[in-house]
Structure 1
Amino acid sequence: MALALVVLPFAATAQTATPATSPDADVTRLDTIVATPARGNQNLADVYGDVSVISKDQLQNAGATSLTELLSRQPQIQAYQQGGPQSLSGLFVRGASPQQTLVMVDGQRINDPATGSTYLSAIDPTTVERVEILRGAASSLYGSDAMGGVINIITRSDGQDKPLSVFGNIGVGTHSLFKAGIGLSGASNGWDYRLAGSYASSDGFNATRNKPGTFTYNPDRDGYEQASLSGSLGYTWKPGNRLGVSFYNGYNHGDFDSGVYDRNTFGIMRQQSVAVTSNNQLTDWWESVLHVSVNRNMYDARASYGDSVIGSIQRTYSWQNNFRLNQQNKLSLVLERKDESVFGTTTYEKDKRHTNAVGLIYRGDFNRHHIQASLRNDNTTGYDDKTTGSLSYDFDITSEWSAGVAANTGYRIPTFADLYTPLSFGYQGNPNLKPETSRSFELRTAWKTEDSSASITAWQTKYRDLIDGYVCDDMFNCTSENVDRATIRGISINAEHRFDQTRVYAGADFMNPKDNESGKQLIRRARQVYRVGASHTFGQASIGADFVHTGTRYDDKDNTREKRLGSYGVLNLRASYAFSKNLEAQVYWNNVLDKKYETSYGYNTEGSNVFLNLAFRM
Structure 2
Amino acid sequence: MNTRSIRRSAGVLACAAPLLASAQQAAPSASVAQLDTIVVTASRTPQELKNVLSDTSVIDRETLSRAGQSSLAEVLSRSHGIEYVNNGGPQTATSLFMRGANSNQTLVLIDGQRINNASSGIPALNAIPADSIERIEIVRGAASSLYGADAIGGVINVITRQASDKPLSAYSNIGFGTYGTSSYNAGISGASNGWTYSLSGGYQQSHGFDATTTRNPFSHNPDKDSYYQNNVAGSLGYEWKPEQKLSVQVYQTRVNGGYDNGEPYFNDRSVQKLENYSITSENRLADFWKSTLRVGYMVDDNESRNAPADLSPGNSPDGRTTFRTRQNQYSWQNDFRLAENQKFTLAYEHLDQRVKGDIADFTDFMNVTYGDYSQTRRHVNSFTGVYLGDFGRHHVQASLRNDNVSEVGHRTTGGLAYGFDLTGNLRATVAANTGFRAPSFNDLYYPDIGGYVGNPRLKPEESRNGEIGLKYQDDTSELGVVYYHTRVKNLIQTQALDPSNPFAGSTLGNVGRATLQGFTVSGAHSFGNTRIRASLDLSNPKNDDTNEQLLRRARTVLRTSIDHRFDQLLVGAEWYVSDERYDVGQTYMAGYGLFNLTASYDITRNFQVQVRWNNVFDKHYTLAEGYATPGSNAFVNLSWRM
2:556 aligned with 1:528, yes or no? yes
The corresponding residue for 2:501 is 475
Deviation string for 1:433-484 (max 9, x for gaps)?
0100000001111111111121101100000000014545231331011110
Q: How far apart are 1:60 and its partner, in Å?
A: 2.6
Q: Which residue of 2 aligns with 1:146?
A: 151
Match of 2:451 in 1: 426
Q: How does 1:54-453 map to 2 (within 5 A)?
A: 54-155=59-160, 157=162, 161-211=165-215, 214-305=217-308, 306-346=319-359, 347-453=372-478
Equivalent AA in structure 1 for residue 44 of structure 2: R
Corresponding letter in the other structure for 1:104: L
- Greater CA drift, 307-316 or 50-59: 50-59
How far 1:29 sits from its partner (Å)?
A: 4.6
RMSD: 1.9
Aligned twin of 1:47: 52
> Which amino acid counterpart does residue 230 of structure 1 have in structure 2?
A
Matched AA of 1:606: P
SS in 1 for 2:401: strand
CA contact (8 A) 1:33 1:42 kept: yes
Aligned partners of 2:263, 2:349: CA distance in 1, in Å? 49
Shift of 1:7: 5.2
Secondary structure in 1 matching 2:339: coil
Runs of 5+ in structure 2 lacking a partner? 1-9, 25-30, 309-318, 360-371
- Between stretches 224-233 and 138-147, larger displacement belongs to 224-233
Task: Pick which of 183-192 and 119-128 moved more.
Answer: 183-192
The alpha-carbon deviation at position 187 of structure 1 amounts to 3.0
Does the 8 Å CA contact 2:357/2:373 hold for their aligned counterparts?
no
Cα deviation digits, residues 63-86 of structure 1 (max 9, x gap): 111111100111000000111111
* Residue pair 1:262, 1:303 contacting (<8 A) in 2 also: no
Give the whole-Å Cα distance in 2 for the aligned partners of 1:6 and 1:585. Answer: 38
In the other structure, the counterpart of 1:19 is none
Q: 1:494: which partner in 2?
A: 522
Q: Distance in 2 between matches of 1:74 and 1:450?
A: 21
Secondary structure (helix, strand or coil) at the match of 2:228 reads strand
Equivalent residue for 1:586? 610
Contact 2:164 2:189 in 1 (8 A): no
CA distance in 1 between partners of 2:614 and 2:56 (Å): 27
- Superposed CA deviations along residues 232-271 of structure 1, whole A, max 9, x for unmatched, are 2222233322211112101101111111534221110001
Where in structure 1 are there 5+ consecutive unaligned residues?
16-25
Q: Highest CA radius of gyration, 1 or 2?
A: 2
Decide whether the 8 Å contact of 2:119 with 2:324 is kept in 1.
Answer: yes
User: Are residues 1:507 and 2:535 paired?
Assistant: yes
Give the alignment partner of residue 19 of structure 2, picking from 10, 18, 31: 10
For residues 530-577 of structure 1, what are the alpha-carbon distances to aligned partners after superposition, in whole Å with 9 as ceiling and x for unaligned?
Answer: 011111110111111001001111112x52xxx212111111101121
In 2, the alpha carbon distance for the partners of 1:8 and 1:63 equals: 31
- Partner SS state of residue 286, structure 2: coil
Deviates more, 1:381-390 or 1:232-241: 232-241
- Checking the alignment, whether the CA contact within 8 Å between 1:502 and 1:535 is kept in structure 2 is yes
Identical aligned residues as a percent: 44
Show the counterpart of 2:544: 516
Structure 1 Cα separation of the partners of residues 553 and 120 of structure 2: 20
CA distance in 2, matches of 1:215, 1:280: 57
Aligned length: 601
- By how many angstroms is 1:5 displaced? 8.6
Query: What is the match of residue 367 of structure 2?
Result: none
Q: In the alignment, what sits opposite 1:23? A: none
Instruction: Return the alpha-carbon distance in structure 2 between the equivalents of residues 462 and 265 of structure 1.
Output: 39
Which 4+ runs in 1 deviate beyond 4 A?
1-9
Q: TM-score, normalised by structure 2?
A: 0.91
Answering whether residue 629 of structure 2 is matched by residue 616 of structure 1, we say no
